[in-house]
């Protein structure tokens, strides 16, 4: 028997859950704003460089520290220095966060091919559905203990 999305959402409590999310301010505009922020994600790397190093040596150390593909960032801050060395903070692109955000955005936009999900019961049989109202106290206790009715008898 086909089930509508509305019936499925009601049965799973999705509609109620969506209400909780909205109550906490987790709405579509909020999620879009956060996704946009993640698409521009940066992180701060902390590295130690010799104080008397030439500019090209500092750039080499920075590039070595943050990866060969990354150019020296525009925001380099000295956070500690001694007579021999400096500890600097440099903002660089956070590629892993950006990649994850891009994949989320593509999925939300529907850019990927649809996926088909088929759910079956044990050994490919149909999923057995019983209303909790139809179960005895012993069956409910068995589910609570073993995770499924009749599991202790198998």
CA 142 – CA 148 distance, rounded (Å): 7
* pLDDT exceeds cutoff 90 at 38: yes
To the nearest 5 percent, what fractions of the chain are helix, strand and coil?
50, 15, 35
Q: What is the pLDDT of residue 100?
A: 94
* pLDDT exceeds cutoff 90 at 131: no
Cα dihedral sign, 82-83-87-88:
positive
Q: Binning pLDDT at 50, 70 and 90, where does residue 144 land? A: confident
DSSP labels for 79-95? Answer: EEE-SSEEEEEEEEE-H
- Where are the extended beta strands (E) located within 13-153? 42-50, 76-81, 85-93
* pLDDT exceeds cutoff 70 at 56: no
Average pLDDT over residues 63-67: 63
Q: What is the DSSP letter of 120?
A: -
Average pLDDT over residues 67-72: 52
Q: What is the pLDDT of residue 17?
A: 79
Q: What's the pTM value of the predicted model, to 2 decimals?
A: 0.53
Average pLDDT over residues 56-68: 64
CA 142 – CA 130 distance, rounded (Å): 14
CA 94 – CA 38 distance, rounded (Å): 9
* pLDDT exceeds cutoff 90 at 96: yes
Give 63's Cβ-side CA count (13 Å radius): 11
Q: What is the pLDDT of residue 152?
A: 45
Map out the domains of the chain as residue ranges: 1-38, 41-97
Flag the least confident range among 11-25, 65-79, 121-135, 136-150.
65-79
């Amino acid at each position: 028997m086909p089930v509508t999305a509305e019936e499925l959402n009601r049965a799973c409590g999705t509609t109620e859950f969506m209400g909780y999310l909205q109550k906490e301010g987790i709405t579509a505009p909020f999620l879009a704003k956060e996704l946009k922020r993640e698409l521009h994600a940066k992180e701060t790397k902390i590295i130690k460089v010799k104080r008397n190093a030439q500019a090209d040596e500092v750039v080499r150390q920075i590039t070595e520290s943050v990866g060969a593909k990354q150019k020296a960032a525009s925001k380099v801050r000295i956070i500690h220095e001694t007579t021999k060395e400096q500890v600097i903070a440099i903002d660089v692109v956070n590629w892993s966060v950006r990649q994850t955000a891009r994949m989320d955005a593509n999925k939300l936009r529907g850019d990927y091919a649809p996926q088909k999900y088929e759910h079956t019961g044990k050994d490919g049989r149909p999923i057995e559905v019983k209303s909790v109202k139809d179960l005895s106290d012993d069956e409910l206790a068995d589910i609570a203990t073993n995770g499924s009715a009749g599991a202790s008898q198998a």
